Amino acid sequence: MKLRTKITLFIITVSLLTLASTYLTSQEIFLDQFTELDQEALEGRMSDIIQTYDLELQGMHETMLNYSVWDETYEYVSSQTFEDLQNPYILSNYDEETFKGNRFDLMALTNGRGNLVYSGLYDSSEETVTPVTPEIVNLFGDIRERLDIFTESENSYTGLVILDNGPMLMTFQPVIHNDMTGPSPGWRWPAGCWMIRK
C-alpha cells in the first residue's frame, strides 16, 4: 500500500472518529439541554392551561350560586318530580339569555331522587335551548351512582367530562335556601360549558 493511500486512510479515520465524538458530545450536552428546556416549557404551558381551566370552573361555581342558593330554586326542586318546561319558575329563569349571559352550555336541576326536573342544552350558533341529549342524561345517572350525595351546603364537584361533542367543564352544587340552610340530600344543580365552542 502506498504512503499516500495510508495517509488518506489515516486522515479519513481520524475525521470519522472526530465527527463521531463531536456528534456524541453534542448529543449529551446540547440535545439533553434542549430536551430539558422543551420539558420545562411544556410544563409551564400545561400549568397555565390547568390554571385557566381552574379559573373557569371557579367562575362557573360562583355564577351558579345565583341559582343554587335561592329560595325559588329550592321550592321548585323540592316540589317537582318531573320536568315541567312550562312552569313559571323555568320560563322566567332558564331562557336563552340566561345561558348566554352566564356563558353556560348546559344547565339542569335534579331532585332528591336524582330525577331531572329541568335540563337544557344551549346551542350558541342558533341561540336556542334544547333538551339535553340521552348521553348527558346517562352521564347524570352515572354521576348520581358514583358520587356521594350533598349533605352540606359547601359540598360541590367540579371537573371535566368527555362527551361525543367534545370535552365539557362541569360543576355541581347543592340547591339550598338563601340563608345557606336547608336539607340538600341529592338535590343538585349541574352546569356545564364546552371547552371548544362551535
**Domain chopping of the chain, boundaries:** 1-197
Share of the chain above pLDDT 90, in %: 51
What's the rounded Cα separation, in Å, for the pair 121 and 128?
8
At 119-178, the pLDDT tens digits run 999 999 999 999 999 999 999 888 888 887 777 777 888 899 999 999 999 999 988 888
Helix or strand run (H / E) with residue 172: strand 166-174
The predicted structure's pLDDT at residue 103:
93
DSSP-derived pairing of the beta strands 116-123 and 106-110? antiparallel
φ, ψ for residue 106 (rounded to 5)? -145, 135
Output the average pLDDT for the chain.
89
The predicted structure's pLDDT at residue 185:
52
At 188-198, the pLDDT tens digits run 778 999 988 76
Band (36; pLDDT cuts 50, 70, 90)? confident
Q: Which three cell numbers stand for residue 71?
A: 329560595
* Protein fold of 1-197: Beta-Lactamase (3.30.450)
Predicted TM-score (pTM) of the model is: 0.76
